[in-house]
Structure 1
Amino acid sequence: MSKDDQWMGTDDENVTAGGMEPPYSENILRLLNPLRRLIRQKQLIDKLHAKLDTKIQSLRQECLPLLMEDGIRRIPNEILVNIFRIGHRSTRNYSFLISVTHVCRRFRSLALQESSLWTGIKVTPRYNTDKILAFIDRSRQQDLDVTFTIGGYGLHAERADFPDAFQASSLRWTSFHTDSGSFQYIPVDLPLSRVRKLYFVNESSEYVNNIPWMLPGLQGFVGLNAIPKFCCTTPLLTECMLAFSKRFIQASEFMNCLAQLLSIENLQLVFQNTTPLDHNSMAAAPLTLMPAVQTLHVTMEVEDDVRLVKALLSRLVMANMSRLIIGCQDVKDAVTVLKPLYSRYPRVFGTPRIIGLNISSAKDVDITAIILEPLHCVCHLSIIIPHAKVITTLASYSGGNEDLREKIGSLQILRFVQCHQLLEQQVETLADNLLDNGSGRGIQLLEIFSCRSISEGFLKDMSRKLGDKISWRT
C-alpha cells in the first residue's frame, strides 16, 4: 500500500478503517475521490515518462552515429583534409592517419591522394619501421617534417635496420625535431643538408649542446633549455629562439653562444624562472656584437629573469636592431628593460624604432607614463596589456598649458591590442590630446584592435571624426 493510500484509506470508499470506524463524511469523500484519480493518473504519467526517456536515449544512440556519418559525408574535402592534418599533429606517432585510411573508401582515397598529409614523420620509442616507410612512400617526393624522439631507448637489435631504411629519405628532411637523448643515435654521416629548421630539447644535465656539422643549411633554430654550440659556421642561420624553463644556465657559455650567432636577424629569448650560475661573469663580460639582429623578442617571468635580461642587454651591441618586443608580468619589469631608451646617451643594445609591450599582469596597469615618457627614436609603440588603463590623468603631465604632443617625442603610431579594460572615454581623451592636429607634432595614427570594452559604434564615430588617423578592428 502506498503512503497516499495509507493516508487516505483504501481504494474502496465504503469500507471503514478496521471495519469498526465510521466511514468518511460525504464532504471529505467528494474531495478524496478526485484526488485518488489524479494520483493514479500521475503514476501512469511517470511510468510513461520513464518509458519515453528510455526510448529517447535508445534513439539518440542510434541516430548520433548516423548524424555524424551524414555530416562527414557533407564535409568538403578541403576541410576533411585539415581535420586529418590536425589529428595527425596531435598524436605522438603515426597511428591516427593509418587508422583514417581504414574508416571508409572516401577517407582512404582522400588521405592517400593528399601527399602533404604524410610529410610529418614521427619516430617515437615504439616505432614501426614498415609504417614509417609507408608514410615516406605516400608523401611522394615532398619535403619531410621529421620528429625523432626515441630518448634513452636507443636502437635495439630488432630495430637495427631503421637507420638504413630511413637514410634514403634524409635529403628530403627540411624540418627536424629531436632531443638530447635521441640526437646521439643519428649517424654523423647522415646527409641532412636540406634541413632548414631544427627544434632541439635538452633533457640532459649538460649546459652546452654540440650541434654537429651535418646541418650546413640550417636557417632556424629553436632550443628548449639548450645552449647550442655549432660545430661549423652557420651563415644561413637567421632565426633563433632560446627558451629556458626552471633552469640554471652558465652565463659565460650563453654569451659565447650569442657571440657565434653573427647572422641572426630575428632573436627570441624566453626566460621562465631562469638563474645564471655565474651572474658576475656576465656583468664583466666583454661587449658581444650581433650586427645582423633586426628583431629582439625577450620574455621574462620572475625577478631573476628580469635581472638576467637587464645584465644581458647591457653586454649586447645590436646596432641594426629596429624592433624590440618585451613580454613580462609587471609593467615595472618592462620599464627596467626600456630604461636605456629614455635617454639620448648612446645605447648599448640598439635603438629600436618599433616597440611591443606584452604585459600579462592580472592587476590594472597604468599606461600613461609608458605613452608620455618619450622613448628615444621610437616611432611605433604597440601595447598588448589586457588590464591597461589610463589611471593617471593626462593633465598631471601637461605642466599647465604645455601641449602633450611635445612630450611624446618621435612617437608616430600608437597601437592598442586586446586592452580589454581600456575605456572609450580614455581613448577619446588620448585622441584629443595626442593626435596630430595639423601642427606636425603628435601621433599620426591611433590603432585599436580587439579591445572588448570599446564598441564598434564608438569606433565608427571616431572614424568619422578622425578619418585616416584611426584604424580599428573589433
Structure 2
Amino acid sequence: MEGLDDLLNLLTRVKHNGWDDAFPDNPFDNYSTETKRDLPPSRHLLTFMNAIEEARTCMRALNEAQRRVGKRLRCLRRLGKPLVLEHGIKRLPDEVMAIIFEMGRHFIGGGPYEFGVCVSHVSRRFRRIALATPLLWTAIRDSYPENQIREFVSRSRQLDLVVGMTVHSSARSFLKALKNTSHRWSSLDIIEDNADYLMEKLGITDLPRLRQLTYSHPHVPMFSLPRPSQAGGWRWEVFSGKWFLSQLTHVELHISGDELIEEIAATIHRMTNLQDLSLKLENCTVGEEEFELSDDAPEPHSVPIDRLAVTIFGDMREYAVSMFNALMHFRPSTVELSIHSSRPEMFLYNSTDGYFPYGSAIKLHTPQMIDVMVALADLLQSCDIVKTVHFDAPMGSGPLQWRWRGLDSDDWERIRSLDHLRFMNCDQFTESDVEALARNILQTEVESRIQSLEINSCKLVSEDFLLGLHDEVGDRLKWTL
C-alpha cells in the first residue's frame, strides 16, 4: 500500500526519539547540522516540498488505516453491545431497575401509556419488576379494553392516575370503568366531544388531586378542582373567566382563526403565578378594531417567568404583532420563538418596532430564509439581559453573505459579550462563514467573554475543518455533527 513504508518509518522515529523529533516545526531539523550547513539556498524549497509530500503520503496511509480500524471498531461495538447490555443489566439490583423503568416511561414514542406493557414483555425478570412498580401502570387511556383498565387500576395501587380521552372514543364505557377512581386523577386530557356531559351525568365532578387539565371545548364543566397548576386547550375560551387562573403555573394554548387578542390578553394577565406559557398561533386574523392594552396591564418586562414559547404558522404578521404586545409584560428566563412563515424577520417586532424576544436565553427556529447575523445584531442591540442565543435556521445566511447592513465593531463587541452562542442546522453556513465567526468572536485582540461558540449539524462544515480551527481558536469552539 502506498505510503505505508513512510508511515512505518515515521512511527519508528517516534518510538526511538519521541514526538518532537518526528514532527519538528522546521523541516531541516530532521537532517544533521553538517547537512543543513551545506545545503545551498536553492535546495530549501525542494526540502520543504519533499517534507510536504512525505507528510501527505503518511496522511493518506494513516487515513486508510483509521478508516479500516474505525470500521472494525464499529462492527465490534455493534456485535458486543447486546452482550455488554445483558451483562450490565444482570448486575443491577431490582430496585435500580425499577427506578430506570420509572424514568424511561417518558422517553418512548408511545409515551407512558405503552411503556409498562412493553417492558413487562421483555423477560421474566423485567415482568416481575414491572408488576411490582405501580408507577408504570398509572397512565390509562380510552383505547384500552375494560379488563385492561381494571388490571392497570389494580397494579397502580393508590397512586395518582393520568387519564386520556381521544376523539370518537367509547367515552361512556371508559368513564364508567374509571368512575370510582376519579379521586385519584392527577392529569386529564378531554378531547372527546361529549365527555364533559357524560362526566356530569355519571357524577364525576369531584377531582381533588387533579393538577393538569387539557381541554378542547369552550365549555369546561363545573368540576371541583382544588389543585390545578397545569392546563392546555385548543381555544382561549377554555380558560376565560375560570376561577383557577391564578393557580396555573404551566399553560399550553392553541389559537386559530379570529380569536380576540383583547380577551386572550385579559385571560393571560389573570394568570398571576404563571411560570411556563406555550402559545401556538395558526392562521389567525385580527379584528376590525386595533388592539390596545388596558390601563391596568402590567408594565413591560415586569413579570418574571421561566419560559415563554411562541410558535407561528401562517403569514399573519398583524395578529402576531398584537399578540407580542399582549406578552410584553413577561420577563422570561428562556424565550423560544418558532416561525413557520415567509419573511420571518418581520415577526420579531411588536407594534412600536420594539424587538419582541426578551430574555436571558433566546432560541429562534425557522425553516425559512433569514439573515441570522442581522437578526442577532438587532437582538443584542435591543435586549440588554440576553446571555445565550440559539439559532436553528436551515436557510439562515452566514456572516460572509453580502448584505445592505454590514456588522460593525459595536455589533461584534455585543456578540462577544454573550456567554453562549449556538448555530444549529444552519445548512447555508460555509466553512468560511464559520471561520469568520470564530476569528471575530474567539480570536481577537479585544477581550471576549463568550464561553462557547457551538456549531451543530451544519451540513457544509466538516469535522476535519472544525478540528483544524479548534487548534487555532481553542476549546471555546464546540461542535456536533
Q: TM class by shorter-chain length? A: 0.5 to 0.7
Give 1:67's aligned residue: none
Q: How does 1:274-423 map to 2 (within 5 A)?
A: 274-276=284-286, 278=287, 280=289, 282-283=291-292, 288-289=297-298, 291-304=303-316, 306-330=317-341, 332-338=343-349, 351-361=358-368, 364-373=369-378, 374-377=381-384, 378-390=386-398, 392-393=401-402, 397=406, 402=409, 405-406=412-413, 408=415, 411-423=418-430
Using structure 1 for the length normalisation, give the TM-score. 0.66
**How many percent of aligned residue pairs carry the same amino acid?**
24
Change (3 A) 1:386 1:101: closer
Q: CA offsets per residue over residues 291-329 of structure 1, 9 Å max, x none?
A: 24342211112122x321211222334253333221113
Q: Is 2:452 the partner of 1:452?
A: no
Deviation at 1:269, TM superposition (A): 0.8
Paired residue secondary structure (1:314): helix
**Shift of residue 260, structure 1, vs aligned partner:** 1.9
Distance across 2 between alignment mates of 1:307 and 1:227: 21
How far the C-alpha of 1:464 sits from its partner, in A, is 2.6
User: What is the alpha-carbon distance in structure 2 between the residues aligned to residue 355 and residue 331 of structure 1?
Assistant: 21
How many positions carry a matched residue from both structures? 379
**Cα contact 1:295–1:324 (8 A) shared by 2:** yes
Q: 1:238 maps to which residue?
A: 249
| Alignment partners' CA distance in 1, 2:444 and 2:332 | 31
CA distance in 2, matches of 1:443, 1:473: 19
Offset from partner CA, 1:414-442 (integer Å, 9 cap, x none): 21112233222111111212347352357
| Higher deviation after alignment, 317-326 or 254-263 | 317-326
- Residue identity in the other structure for 1:428: E
Q: CA deviation at 1:129?
A: 3.9
Please report the TM-score for the alignment, with normalisation by the length of structure 2: 0.65
Cα–Cα, structure 1 residues 287 and 327, in superposed 2: closer, same or farther, change >3 Å? farther
Q: State which of 214, 229, 239 in structure 2 corresponds to 1:219.
A: 229
Query: Which has the higher Rg, Structure 1 or Structure 2?
Result: 1
Matched, 1:137 2:174: no
Give the letter aligned to residue 348 of structure 2.
V
Q: Which residue is 1:270 aligned to?
A: 280
Distance 2:171 2:333 in 1: 45
Displacement of 1:102: 9.5
Corresponding letter in the other structure for 1:221: A
Give 5+ residue unaligned stretches, structure 2.
1-81, 91-96
Q: How far apart in 1 are the matches of 2:142 and 2:374?
A: 52
Amino acid of the residue matched to residue 138 of structure 1? R
Counterpart contact for 1:200–1:226, Cα < 8 Å: no
Aligned partner of 2:476 in structure 1 is 469
Distance 1:339 1:465, change over 3 A: farther
For residues 165 and 105 of structure 2, the distance between their equivalents in structure 1, rounded to whole angstroms, comes to 19
- Unmatched segments (≥5 aa) in structure 1: 1-69, 203-207
Conservation of the 8 A alpha-carbon contact between 2:339 and 2:347? no
- Cα-to-partner distance string for 1:272-295 (whole Å, 9 max, x where unaligned): 22234x352634655643824342
Q: Distance in 2 between matches of 1:264 and 1:398?
A: 38
User: CA offsets per residue over residues 351-396 of structure 1, 9 Å max, x none?
Assistant: 42322110012xx533231233333313322100112222534896
Equivalent position to 2:215, from 188, 192, 200: 200
Matches within 5 A, 1:144-183: 144-149=161-166, 155=172, 159=173, 163=176, 166-179=178-191, 180-183=193-196
Q: Partners of 2:222 and 2:416 in 1: how far apart?
A: 48
Shift of 1:136: 0.2
